[in-house]
Amino acid sequence: IVGTGEIGQAVAHTLSGFGMDLTGVAKNPRSLVPFNRMGSLDDLGRLVETADDLINLLPAPPVTHDIYDRALFARLKPTALVINAGRGGAVVDADLVAALENNQLAGAVIDVCREEPLPANHLFWHTPRLLLTGHTAAPTLPGAMVELFRDNLARFWAGTAMRGEVDFARGY
């Protein structure tokens, strides 16, 4: 799981229930439950060599732009599945299509694209073993939105950090 913020941790907790061996990749790696190991973005090329699934949940600061490219896809096992539910700009579209067409990857699930809505003539529409979803990786439940608002309002009045707060210096 590349991107171990709140969403990455929630996905990891869900997947750990299936007994998956989880590796987390973060800008600043730290020990997190339920990850079995952690690495930095600099370690990504090495870490993907043993991955069965590569799940991108990164935000979109410049350092993450085009990190999933031909060279990275070549390091994955041919049985690997790539899932992008982070940001579309992290994936070089043509490189992903080439990896799938050349059977370098088992498949891909793309929830976010570099360009949305995806143009009718985009390569993804006709790529074998690529599943497109409608940028709906997780539905937002009204009750959860209200609870988040209430919690953040209380945090705001208390002068403490809010959940999901944007840090413009970090780019997300």
Residues 6+ apart with CB under 8 A from 36: 21, 22, 23
Q: Catalytic: which of 30, 87, 114, 155?
A: 87
135 part of the active site? yes
Q: Catalytic: which of 65, 114, 122, 135?
A: 135
Can you say whether the dihedral through the CA atoms of 133, 134, 137, 140 is positive or negative? negative
122 part of the active site? no
Element (H, E) at 6: helix 6-16
Residues 6+ apart with CB under 8 A from 35: 1, 4, 12, 22, 23, 24
Question: Which two structure tokens, joined as six digits, stand for 75?
Answer: 């390091």
**Residues classed as catalytic:** 87, 135
